[in-house]
Structure 1
Amino acid sequence: MNNTTPTSVELVARAEALRSQLWEDAPEVDRTRRLTDRNFAAMRDAQLMQLFTPRRFGGLAADMRTYFEVTAALGRGCSSSAWVAGVLNAGNWMVAQFPEEAQREVWGADPLATSCSILQPTGEAEIVDGGIKLNGKWGYSSGSNHCDWAIVAYPSPNAVKPEMMLALVPMSDVEVEDTWFVTGMRGTGSNTIVARDLFVPDHRVLPLMPMFRGDNLDAPDAVHRTALAGVLPVSLMGSQIGAAEAALEFVIEKAPKRQITASTYSVQAQSVGFQVDLAEAATTIKAARLIGQQAADVLDEHAGQSHLPDETIRSGLRMDMAWAVKRANEGVDRLVTAHGTSAFGEFSPLQRIWRDTGIATRHAAFNIRISQEIYAKALLGLNPYEISFLV
């Protein structure tokens, strides 16, 4: 690894170069419910887990557009691998919001260290001398099989100032319960992290809401001036759009070789009905990509100006990204129907992509109804925070 910071184009090319390996390992990732060691190592060694690590610790502090393009490229090979890359980079983005002492603990000895994060406040803490004593269980911890640190949420035990807090803890100090048994995105390792009477020093404790309010606008690297509500959906969106694009390529490749049963068409490619489905799916997926790119660009533009977008823009971005993931899923669904029943054979990558996008589009970050309510309230001059803190 040289000391020259790679360009966005180079990073996307590195992700594209891993596609065939990720695609080859994807069935095993799905079957074993975890990334293969070689997939994770390949992404790490290509610096694709350092996208949001601060430059002063040897990271890349890349922009949001690069982040989106890299995860989309990885998603064309394996959506679970891309999801984990997105989540762990987002975790590192959050670590960069902690005090300098905490950042040095994470990256001082290991610039390649990664972090997962869980914002559901299912833990509890007791204030003790020099920090807190933490107990709790945090489910859906994507990337827990491969990360070095975890950021977990808990309600502040300070009754005078109630707020949601975050604790940064080494994975060596917690347990991971194998609880992620689902039909899609099986390889993300979204298991349950358990802490029992764990001491967390004050410098590894942080309130959550300042990350949404723009309190980070003086961060040294531009990308760390983005609001967390923008980072979170981008972290997951690229993997799904990339997966949909992979499904499209697969169906196009097979169309000149597959016949349509009980019809006079010797191959699918001759059928006007198939052509219409293909064109509709391709356009839907392309629209999802364009919306995703635009959302990332808007976040970069404001971060570069050290400016927090207003509530209407932020609410619109959440809506846009939920819409993009929903459209990617719809595109996959149309492709599976056009391809035919064999798409659901266990030998077919389409059934895996169909399951993956079906699960991902139902993630809380992409709840389309909640996103619509938030955006509509902002457009009407009402309070979107009545619906969710993810604005």
Structure 2
Amino acid sequence: MTDSTPGSADLITRAAHLRPQLWEDAPEVDRTRRLTDRNFAAMRDAGLMQLFTPRRFGGLAANLRTYFEVTAALGLGCSSSAWVAGVLNAGNWLVAQFPEPAQEEVWGADPFATTCSVLQPTGEAELVPGGIKLTGKWGYSSGSNHCDWAIVAYPSPEAAEPELQLALVPMSEVEVQDTWLVTGMRGTGSNTIVAHDVFVPDHRVLPLMPIFRGENLTAEDPVHRAALAGVLPVSLMGSQIGAAETALEFVIEKAPKRQITASTYAVQAQSVGFQVDLAEAATTIKAARLIGAQAADVLDDYAGRGELPNETVRSGLRMDLSWAVKRACESVDRLVTAHGTSAFGEFSPMQRIWRDTGIATRHAAFNVRISQEIYAKALLGLDPYEISFLV
């Protein structure tokens, strides 16, 4: 790291300083279903979209613990903004796995370039001289409103067995269909990317499974050696921890001023029942944050040594992160109930946080039942890949 490269504490502080602006714009982000331009520009200008850009291109190549703490800090202000920051940085992490000519195309002229990604293989490719022609639709592409490149998955047209490939394409060559019409995380712009016979040269095509198997362990920057199965959930978790912590702060702030209807308590803060709900939520959210930080530290430790965690460790981390996000979401629900029905008023930020965490916790990366099956199989010496390739 050069003297001019910001350290972890500096990056986290930069994210924290954006909280008031993100919080101010959060209702507009929710209403318009996209980040405000000034929110995205503020995160970009603070270097928070370059966390995984290789250092040789002017990026930060920060570790996963920094990544988690930055997105959690952003989530205190706006969970959609934090989610987009997490996803686009993860997309850049994937770009760093592509051959050098592809990386040069993405960052050579613009070190601030960002990349969205969809790993569900809902497209198809035709082999042509020098590359492929790509056609398909890829849904739930978070950050599609604010990125320069997209990575999409498709089954290899030449493999005898199903084998996933990644294609890196400029956003200028695909269409973005406005399909993200949901009740929560509305500002993430998780729309559908559409490609029609888009030519992708060979150097912008990459097999996916070798990365899961650890064939990235020789990467120059330590973070690019991390286990992909861990990078993906960590990329999404911080936003939800930050959102839950903000909900807790809001309920605590209002408790000395709010009555409990049809009770003898003048204010909520006097109620033992309210106090129990508050303590339970606070402890659970704190535990969720600690789990996220520990998972990032474990992944950083292995990456620093150039080692791939074994299947049991990777499966266990996925289980931990799924459990933590689910419990954080449940804590928000508990806080909403404790705060009272006014939490559902359109004027209240609590209803937005409640909707956001409710949607986010149901992301495939946090499917607790699937995570339990994967982890249990690994513990029993069975094959977790029978359940999912995200191991």
Assess same fold via TM > 0.5: yes
Distance 2:337 2:161 in 1: 54
Distance 1:3 1:336 in 2: 46
Which residue of 2 is the match for residue 238 of structure 1? Answer: 238
Deviations along 1:7-27, whole A, 9 cap, x unmatched? Answer: 100000000000010000000
The alpha carbon displacement at 1:162 in A equals 4.0
Deviations along 1:135-177, whole A, 9 cap, x unmatched? Answer: 0000000000000000000001104464100000000000000
Q: Partner of 2:111: helix, strand, or coil?
A: coil
Which residue of 2 is the match for residue 206 of structure 1? Answer: 206
Matched, 1:113 2:113: yes
Distance 1:193 1:310 in 2: 34
Which residue of 1 is the match for residue 95 of structure 2? Answer: 95
Which residue of 1 is the match for residue 372 of structure 2? Answer: 372
Distance 1:3 1:196 in 2: 46
Deviations along 1:12-60, whole A, 9 cap, x unmatched? Answer: 0000000010000000000000000000000000000000000000000
Matched AA of 1:192: T
Structure 2 unaligned regions, length at least 5: none
Identity, % of aligned positions: 85
Distance 1:7 1:369 in 2: 37
The alpha carbon displacement at 1:263 in A equals 1.1
Distance 2:370 2:315 in 1: 10
Matched AA of 1:205: V
The alpha carbon displacement at 1:130 in A equals 0.4
Distance 2:389 2:103 in 1: 26
Which residue of 2 is the match for residue 193 of structure 1? Answer: 193
The alpha carbon displacement at 1:3 in A equals 7.1
Distance 1:57 1:239 in 2: 27
Which residue of 1 is the match for residue 286 of structure 2? Answer: 286
Distance 2:318 2:390 in 1: 8
Distance 2:322 2:133 in 1: 37
Distance 1:123 1:214 in 2: 25
Moved over 6 A (4+): none
Matched AA of 2:111: P
Distance 1:269 1:322 in 2: 32
Distance 1:186 1:310, change over 3 A: same
TM-score (norm 1): 0.99
Distance 1:197 1:383 in 2: 37
Deviations along 1:225-278, whole A, 9 cap, x unmatched? Answer: 012111000000000010000000000000011111111111111111110100
Structure 1 unaligned regions, length at least 5: none
Which residue of 1 is the match for residue 384 of structure 2? Answer: 384
The alpha carbon displacement at 1:189 in A equals 0.1
Matched AA of 1:334: R
Which residue of 2 is the match for residue 165 of structure 1? Answer: 165
Deviations along 1:47-78, whole A, 9 cap, x unmatched? Answer: 00000000000000000000000000000000
Mapping of residues 13-162 of structure 1, within 5 Å: 13-160=13-160, 162=162
Q: Partner of 2:373: helix, strand, or coil?
A: helix
Give the alignment's Cα RMSD to 1 decimal: 0.9
TM-score (norm 2): 0.99
